[in-house]
Structure 1
Amino acid sequence: MEALRGWLVPFLLPERCFEELVLRLHVLHVPCLKILLSKALGYGIVAGSVMVKLPQVLKVVGARSGGGLSLPAVLLELLALGGSVAYGCARAFPFSAWGEALFLLLQTLALGFLIQHFGGHTGRGVLLVAGFGVLLAALVSPHAPPGLATLLQAANLPIIILSRLLQAATNYRQGHTGQLSGVSTALLLGGALARVFTSLQETGDALLAGTFAASAACNGLLLAQLLYYGGGPRPKRD
């Protein structure tokens, strides 16, 4: 039992909930069940985030083109994700509450590089990776200004909305969704919806929950465009 306590208590349950659910077998204890569900969802989202943008990356690599993807939207998303990582670190939130932002950031950074690389600007892609690496290190540094992380998180809401609207506008202007991946977009939508619940449960932070709600709405718009346009560019008729 002590071995089970040592595994569950630090990661999935507070001590009082371990006693309620495991020792006293109060398996219908709603407050503790909500905590358990939130923790399990959080770690599941973090684990799944490692693969969320992989379909998008593979689609770009397979086509050897980032056609249809908005580079400004990718850069804005990088800024938003960097702010989320900095905010989670600064507020000492559990990794299960924000960890996916780190993995999504790394995949988005790879995507930004690939867009530049296949666009014939490999040098710019390298500078993007190096420059953002330095910026992220500065954001999570203990020497960063105390209010900077909160400011960035507050700015995430308009940044996320603007980045998704830029991509939506690109899709509308072109009349197709280019190399935009439906799988990645659907996974981002589902993850954002789940994060609204886990953010309120684990952190009680309305700012964080509101950001995820806006992200879900915007990803829903992109998914609707994917369904409407039916994917990539339509073949030209003779």
Structure 2
Amino acid sequence: MITVTEEAFDPDRRVSSFVDETLAFAYVFEDFGIDYCCGGDVSLATACEKANVDIATIRNRLRAVQESHDEESVEWESLSELVNHIVSTHHDRLREELPSLESLVHKVAEVHGEDHPELRAVEREYAVLADEMRTHIEEEEDELFPIVRKLDSGGSLTDFEVRTVRRELTTFEDDHEATAERLEQLSELTDGYTVPDSACASYRGMLERLEALERETHIHVHKENNILFPTVVSTLDADA
């Protein structure tokens, strides 16, 4: 867990490193539109400047979170443990949520599409997003994670497996960027998930679940881009 004091607080520290140690900090960054997953390699000072946020405000929010929450530390005994956590916490959740939410998005677009034509675009964008995310998690579990588990167990990787891992890491990071762009598009189409005055319970529920999907995906991607993938690379380099 990070202690945000004057001494520990460093504006040159990578944004992702804060969330590496305390997941609850992710919600502070979410609230201020600071990218800590795909764009988490920049310094906190740079991120605040990009988001047009006073860095002192972020410091105070981080401190408040630390003082009022039981922080969840992102610490894993092994690569295999982290991979298993990603599957059980994020992939399995997506397998349940994506089709259910897709049905709800379609229903809301059918009922309210005439008064809110942007809902047709939401439906189209979500359908592509859901399909891409389903493919992505299956490819990770079929192609990448088994080799990561073998690497973690001390098994010797073939040259082909090493090349496969390095290629897949780049591919999956590109997928994450595309996913972030689609989620951002959904946010823009719904005016930041703003609930219209005329919205029914289904409409409201759809927006709440879309927003939750965006936040949860940011944390999911953070664990892969900023923790899992760099650890795999450093392990491969050490074994080279």
Q: Same fold, TM exceeding 0.5?
A: no
Structure 1 or 2: more helix by fraction: 1
How does the TM-score come out when normalised to structure 2?
A: 0.35
Alignment TM-score, normalising by the size of structure 1: 0.35
